[in-house]
Amino acid sequence: MLKVKYPSRASLKALSDIPSEGYSAVEDISANSSFSGPLERYSSLVRDGSLREDDHQKAVMQKLDQLHNTLRGYTNTPSSLFSKFFTKPKPPKGCYIYGDVGTGKTMVMDMFYSHVETEKKKRVHFHDFMLDVHRRIHRLKQSMPKRKTGKMAKYDDPIAPVAEGISEEACLLCFDEFQVTDIADAMVLKQLFEKLFSNGVVVVATSNRPPHDLYKTGLQRVNFVPFIAVLEQYCQTLCLDSGIDYRKRNRPSAGKLYFLSSEPDVEAKLDTMFDDLAFKQDDITRPRVLNVHGRKVRLDKTCGTIVDCTFEELCDRPLGASDYLEISRLFDTVFIRHIPLLTLNKKTQARRFITLIDVLYDHRVRVVILADRPFENIFEHDHDGDHDHDESHVLMDDLGLKRDSASGLSIFSGEEEVFAFQRTVSRLTEMQTEQYWIDGDRSIKPQQKIV
């Protein structure tokens, strides 16, 4: 079975939903082993003022603490003697935690994860997980013998063996940012997760959306809806929505990191910032070509762990999460210049920008930005324009969709981008804080391994 490594505990990203200053790393959570579980740890942080008291977070943490106790010593691979004479024990229900951006969902999940006493646990961003799933499926298909006419290949459907492989590696999967925007993901989720659950895998996930809103108005959603019932059967749904975006609380700023194109001499200011950072690098300023799954991605201006890019370089080209993951692995600071106003006319670029910020944030990569608008107003949802009119009609025709019925689908309406961009704004806010900038400096601490 193909093995693709998930991030190890040592390579976990710093917390995504940080409710107070100065408390930002997963290592901080697990540093004190004297706590009996995540709830006791959470309560101690509230008492000493590291965390602000939040009844919504505490209620979710109580449920996670119960699951933590249930999972003590749990495994989904009983011994051969046990499986010969006994039926498999019923796995406990997982948790699906949803709520608005910045409310602490990732923090409580990471606190839970760090205390769970099983070696077979994996914690990964959901987007990265699905990339891995599709890579496994692709590799398995490549390894299959050529089908002869009228003959069935050994594995006509590779999803089951892929799920088996993942189940062997983990009895607990923790997913951050569970969201479904890709039809390729949507079509495999039910079969994949049914197999994972039947193999005793327990899932804990965070999301901005309740289960019934996943893949809302997505293409061919009728084929996706049965997955929602599967998810709700095996996971209890927990709402964590205090109405507070902790990322937007007043925290010390790292200085000016977000510039507007209208500012005088702004290009020269960014050039100076780049030169100051590059001076500390043991490298020269030069172009660099990245090798991403056999594809060449050229970046015109790099120096050590610093890269200076234009929006066109990062989001106008056909790049995706795997490319941005490679950038996050190699660089701790990314300049992004000339971000335009993102209307529905630039829906594809907007999706790439959202994915880019998600990946950079997850791996604590620092950003310096030059844009035409303040970050709260980068994306404009305007139905009045003739957005992608010809391109959308061609796609509708290719898919055999009627234009009246298809216009409400998220792939054409931009609804998913509007929803996801709320998260992008929240993350960009935190990315300008002093603590985020310090956390992202790989020159002053060992570089985390990103798998």
Burial group, residue 266, by CB count within 10 angstroms (0-12, 13-18, 19+) = middle
> For residue range 177-216, what is the model confidence (pLDDT) as tens digits?
898 878 888 889 999 999 999 999 999 999 988 999 998 8
Average pLDDT, the chain: 80
> For residue range 267-279, what is the model confidence (pLDDT) as tens digits?
999 999 999 999 9
β-pairing, 172-176 vs 295-303, is unpaired
Burial group, residue 183, by CB count within 10 angstroms (0-12, 13-18, 19+) = middle
Distance CA 270, CA 134 (A): 39
Chain center to CA of 248: 20
Q: For residue 28, what pLDDT is reported?
A: 39
Distance CA 191, CA 256 (A): 48
pLDDT of residue 142 exceeding 80, the answer is yes
Contact 338, 310 (CB under 8 A): yes
β-pairing, 306-310 vs 333-339, is parallel
Give the number of C-alpha atoms closer than 13 A to the C-alpha of residue 48, restricted to the C-beta side.
9
Decide: helix, strand or coil at residue 79: coil
Contact 334, 367 (CB under 8 A): yes
H-type alpha helices, 86-182: 105-115, 126-143, 159-169
pLDDT band for position 42 (cuts 50, 70, 90): very high
pLDDT of residue 388 exceeding 90, the answer is no
Q: For residue 181, what pLDDT is reported?
A: 79
pLDDT of residue 124 exceeding 70, the answer is yes
Higher pLDDT, 153 or 410: 153
Out of 16-30, 75-89, 206-220, 337-351, least confident range: 16-30
Q: For residue 324, what pLDDT is reported?
A: 94
Structure token pair of residue 264: 């005088």
Q: What is the mean pLDDT of residues 354-376?
A: 92
286 forms beta bridges with 302
Q: For residue 331, what pLDDT is reported?
A: 97
Higher pLDDT, 183 or 159: 159
Q: What is the mean pLDDT of residues 25-43?
A: 66
Distance CA 223, CA 190 (A): 9
**List of domains in the chain:** 9-246 (3.40.50.300), 252-439 (no CATH)
Q: For residue 357, what pLDDT is reported?
A: 93
Which residue type is seen at 181? T
Q: Which residues contact 212 (CB under 8 A, 6 or more apart)?
A: 228
Q: For residue 149, what pLDDT is reported?
A: 56
